[in-house]
Amino acid sequence: GQQLNQSPQSMFIQEGEDVSMNCTSSSIFNTWLWYKQDPGEGPVLLIALYKAGELTSNGRLTAQFGITRKDSFLNISASIPSDVGIYFCAGQEDGGSQGNLIFGKGTKLSVKP
């Protein structure tokens, strides 16, 4: 089935640094979502993107829906210790089932104070 390629797999950064991660697919998506998951919890939606080229911010987080509709990135500016967690991209394939989100394998973020 369709897979999302998410990179990097993990990141170790210093507090205050900016972070960038991205996701690519082999087919066209009509929705891109970015989630954060803390240990033992479910994913929490950070940003939702619905149009090609869309750039959306949520506090220190910014995400973009790639113009080709096959990629998306998430940036975190001025990271803080509570940004630690696993970040997942997810999307809905164009023409796919409305209920079926496809997830990347996640980017594990570690922040050193």
Partner 1 sequence: NAGVMQNPRHLVRRRGQEARLRCSPMKGHSHVYWYRQLPEEGLKFMVYLQKENIIDESGMPKERFSAEFPKEGPSILRIQQVVRGDSAAYFCASSRRQGSGYTFGSGTRLTVV
Measured from the CB atom, is 54 or 77 closer to partner 1? Answer: 54
Q: State which of residues 12, 59, 97, 113 lies at the interface with partner 1 (CB under 8 A).
A: 97
CB atoms within 10 A of CB 96: 17
**Span between the terminal Cα atoms of the chain, in Å:** 40
**Strand partners of residue 92:** 31
Cβ 53 to partner 1, closest distance in Å?
20
Show the site string, 34-53: x = touches partner 1 by CB under 8 A, - = not. -x----xxxxxx--------
Nearest-Å Rg of the Cα atoms of the chain is 14
Size of the site for partner 1 (CB under 8 A): 24
CA atoms of 41 and 93, how far apart (whole Å): 26
Binding site residues, partner 1, CB under 8 A: 4, 6, 31, 33, 35, 40-45, 88, 90, 92, 97-106
